[in-house]
Amino acid sequence: MSLRVVGAGLPRTGTKSLKLALEQLLGGPCYHMVEVFEHLEDVAVWRGALAGRSPDWADFLANYVAAVDWPASAFWLELAEANPDAPVLLSVRDDPEIWWRSADATILEVVRRDEYEDYEEWLALAHELFRKRIAREWDDPSVAMAAYERHNESVRAEVPPERLVEWRPGAGWEPLCRALDVPIPADPFPHVNSTLEWNERKEAEEAQKAGVE
């Protein structure tokens, strides 16, 4: 199975919603960071790719119809080359500050950790991704926002217009369905993993942990 969609968007650009939407449209699984937590053996593959030892992408992602979010979208160019018939999906926020605020309030709280029980190798992968794809000073808002803009401009410059699909949260089904030449579903577009949901989940986990202790 080859990828039918190659995601190029950075994390916190609606990628979890896109994962669910693409799975509905394409009838198969979409690779996303949540897959890494379910398949921790993949961490070594991604860390190897960051070190210059890329896998056979077709073999590694053989069970997936699409890939969005990091770590896959950190290798969007390689995946686009390996899947030349797949549209490249660039998910973006309306502006860099919106993206930063979302990342700062959610995933960066995890990435800033020095330790992550049971997920130490995953945390090392996350640190490497931010250092190599954003900057060594990835936790500086101005540096990170500049990197976000550079990344998006690089994708726009590299991908032919007829292959590029730019999508923003709120755009819904239409851009995806047009690119894939499939009907627009009657169901509402999925909207998951918002900052509010993230914080509610975090509070619930902390309350549960406090109750156990």
- We report the CATH number of the domain holding residue 68 as 3.40.50.300
Count of other CB atoms within 10 angstroms of residue 94: 10
Residue 113 is assigned to a structural domain of this protein? no
Residue 80 is assigned to a structural domain of this protein? yes
The pLDDT confidence band at residue 53, using thresholds 50, 70 and 90, is: very high
Section 161-174 average pLDDT:
96
**Partners of 31 in beta bridges:** 67
pLDDT tens digits for range 84-141: 999 999 999 999 999 999 999 999 999 999 999 999 999 999 999 999 999 999 999 9
Angle at 176 between CA 171 and CA 178, to 5 degrees: 110
- Is a pLDDT exceeding 60 seen at residue 209? no
Residue 139 is assigned to a structural domain of this protein? no
Residue 105 is assigned to a structural domain of this protein? no
Residue 102 is assigned to a structural domain of this protein? no
Q: Structural domain of residue 84, as residue ranges? A: 5-95+151-212
Section 17-29 average pLDDT:
97
**Helix or strand run (H / E) with residue 31:** strand 30-31
**25-64 b/e with 16+ CB inside 10 Å = b?**
bbeebbbbbebbeeeeebbebbbebbeeebeebeebbeeb
pTM of the model: 0.90
Q: Give every strand in the sheet of 30-31, ordered side by side.
A: 30-31, 66-67, 5-7, 88-91, 164-167
- Is a pLDDT exceeding 80 seen at residue 73? yes
Residue 89 is assigned to a structural domain of this protein? yes
Q: How many structural domains does the chain have?
A: 1
Residue 202 is assigned to a structural domain of this protein? yes
